[in-house]
Amino acid sequence: MICLTTSVGTRHVGSRMKCLTAAWTKTNQPLLCSSTSSTNHCNLKHSERLCHISLIGELRNCLCPPNNNNSTFIRSYSTSTQQPTYSSKCLLGERDRFNAVMVDLTHEGNQQFIADNGYFGNILADSTSKWQKDGTIAIWIRVPIAHSRLIPVAASHGFSLHHTEGDNIYLSRWLLDCPSRLPAYANHQIGVSGFVLNEEKEEVLMIQDKHRIVRWKFPGGLSNFGEDIPDTVVREVWEETGIKTEFQSVLCFRQQHNMPWAFGISDIYVVCRLRPLNFDLNICKDELVDAKWTKVNELLKDPNHTHLTVRVAKLIQHGLKYGFDSVDISMEELPSVYKNTTYKLFHKPLPPSL
């Protein structure tokens, strides 16, 4: 049975309404549509309700066109005490300071739109049209991997893959009639190594990587997400060699593009000066073949060392002779313009008078 009731009573609808009601009748599903009672019930199952939500929407539009002031809406009932309504025709999103909208499909308010691909496509089209008229410059969509089936739907509406983060895929669409100004995702990785210097003996800690045993190099590795450079280098040296250290300064950094084995992205490699707190080696055999303490001046004699290793050794020799203030790049933590956050600033030390 189909019962269609509005706040203004029973309506005579046109041929479109007859087609829709006939289509619904073929599904053998009862439907109750009302804006005047909260005590009506129907036995429409949750899964069936979601499968037919697009048809319900069309029935609603016939009953109450968008320009009508009557407050008609569709309410589908289940055995749950929570009675969800499907009156909204726009995805929930958060507007950023650049006037772009971020839609998080894990948000509770968007759950009603994602169970059915077709319905999601319709809602996405309506939402995109609305935001475009509002002057929104771009839309971002966060799609959890569990709902990755929605990615082709969004792609059919002009969205493209931007990046992944954990178990989430991020899509984007530029809405203005000009080339996209959306930033590309991370195009650099950060690698850090430690020049662990025993000043008393003028020795440096060197390692032989298990996967690159031709050369000796400084211990180090890649920064984790949200990890500061000093924390990365102290952690990596400890994990690889068992040597606990204290961060002293940044000595230099290198930028290299099209980094092999890094999917073609660029690489920033930061060399830090560290002070050792112990000297007994305990290497990680999963990563290293060997580790040893080496005289700094020997790094200048061995032709197998890289240009970077030799250059850093020269910086250390200069520091040992004239003081490390002449080579160190210091770090200071300062308050950010973003509320309740700080950042690390690296620069040559200023004179005390400044």
| Residues 308, 309, 313, 314, CA torsion sign | negative
Catalytic residue among 48, 58, 227, 239: 239
Max Cα-Cα span within the chain: 97
Q: For this structure, is 203 an active site residue?
A: no
For residue 148, CA distances in Å to 115, 173, 198 come to 12, 17, 53
Alpha helices in the chain (DSSP H): 15-26, 46-51, 53-63, 117-133, 150-155, 229-241, 307-322
For 233, the token pair is 């280098």
Let me know: does 276 contact 233? Beta carbons within 8 Å. Answer: no
CA distance 140 to 143: 10
Burial class (CB in 10 A: 0-12, 13-18, 19+), 142: middle
Let me know: does 207 contact 243? Beta carbons within 8 Å. Answer: no
CA distance 208 to 286: 12
CA distance 34 to 60: 10
Let me know: does 248 contact 275? Beta carbons within 8 Å. Answer: yes
Task: Tell me the chain's radius of gyration from C-alpha atoms.
Answer: 32
CA distance 295 to 308: 17
| Positions marked catalytic | 239
